[in-house]
Amino acid sequence: MANLATTADVSALIKDGMTVAIGGFLAAGTPELLVDNLVANKITELTVIGNDTGFPDKGIGKLVVNRQVKKAIVSHIGTNPETGNQMNSGDMVVELVPQGTLAERLRCGGSGLGGVLTPTGLGTVVAEGKEIIAVSGKEYLLETALRADVALVKAAVADKSGNLVCRRASANFNPVMAMAADLVIAEVDRIVEVGEIDPDHVTIPCIMVDYIVLAGKGE
């Protein structure tokens, strides 16, 4: 059963230098309260895994602007000019990963697999330094698995066991982030009793969730 917690409770769980996976797609489905908590606590030297770096004032972008990220593993940085500035100046390392490949690397990390073979990126800068493996006469890049120390995910509803329901497209990267982390903290808008969520509607099962934090006034 997941633990009901406050931001103060979970603050001590995230340390400088950790790898943190953060759900969201252009800040939609991003746990803004938990990100703000990282900003407030000035956790630094983070390696952040996300679909993108959000915007300067939203999502992962707030961490970038505050210079708390040493490396970002993402598929897109175009909506946050500060990410590009820090990448070009050498203040932050950016590993750009094709979006589907990023999802599969996380899925591999959560499934105990070493990596995935994909043709995406062959013949481009994506392939630099990576192993190429031939299968049945066709070449593939070996993209290694990704794991995080902590995943911060967002859901609309949780039950008291920690089963999560993400609203429509806000699910995006949240499920694979939860799969691939040693510790999962979920920010939720509402908490209900066990049994109130239809099992068919569960987006992230409780077995993956360690802490739930109620957003807004209820927090």
Asked if residue 138 is part of any domain, the answer here is: no
Asked if residue 204 is part of any domain, the answer here is: yes
- Res 45 pLDDT > 50: yes
pLDDT at 1 (0 to 100): 79
Number of structural domains (the chain) is: 1
What is the per-residue pLDDT across 146-172, written as a single tens digit (0 to 9) for each?
A: 999 999 999 999 999 999 999 999 999
What is the per-residue pLDDT across 52-86, written as a single tens digit (0 to 9) for each?
A: 999 999 999 999 999 999 999 999 999 999 999 99
Asked if residue 14 is part of any domain, the answer here is: yes
pLDDT at 218 (0 to 100): 45
pLDDT at 24 (0 to 100): 96
State the chain's mean pLDDT as an integer: 96
Residue 40 CB: number of other CB atoms within 10 A?
11
Please name the residues in contact with 190: beta carbons below 8 A apart, sequence gap of 6 or more: 156, 157, 158, 214
Asked if residue 94 is part of any domain, the answer here is: yes
Q: Which of 16, 21, 150 lies closest to 97, judged by CA?
A: 21
Asked if residue 49 is part of any domain, the answer here is: yes
pLDDT at 82 (0 to 100): 97
Q: Whole domain around residue 184: which residue ranges? A: 3-107+147-218
Asked if residue 199 is part of any domain, the answer here is: yes
Q: Which DSSP letter does residue 200 get?
A: G
Asked if residue 61 is part of any domain, the answer here is: yes
Determine phi and psi for 200, rounding to 5 degrees.
Answer: -70, -15
Asked if residue 124 is part of any domain, the answer here is: no
Query: Rounded to an integer, what distance in angstroms lies between the CA atom of residue 190 and that of residue 167?
Result: 12
- The CATH number for 174's domain is 3.40.1080.10
Residue 204 CB: number of other CB atoms within 10 A?
26
Query: Rounded to an integer, what distance in angstroms lies between the CA atom of residue 50 and that of residue 197?
Result: 28
Q: Say if pTM beats, i.e. exceeds, 0.85.
A: yes
Is there a contact between 124 and 157 (Cβ–Cβ < 8 Å)? no
Query: Rounded to an integer, what distance in angstroms lies between the CA atom of residue 166 and that of residue 155?
Result: 4
Q: Which DSSP letter does residue 51 get?
A: S
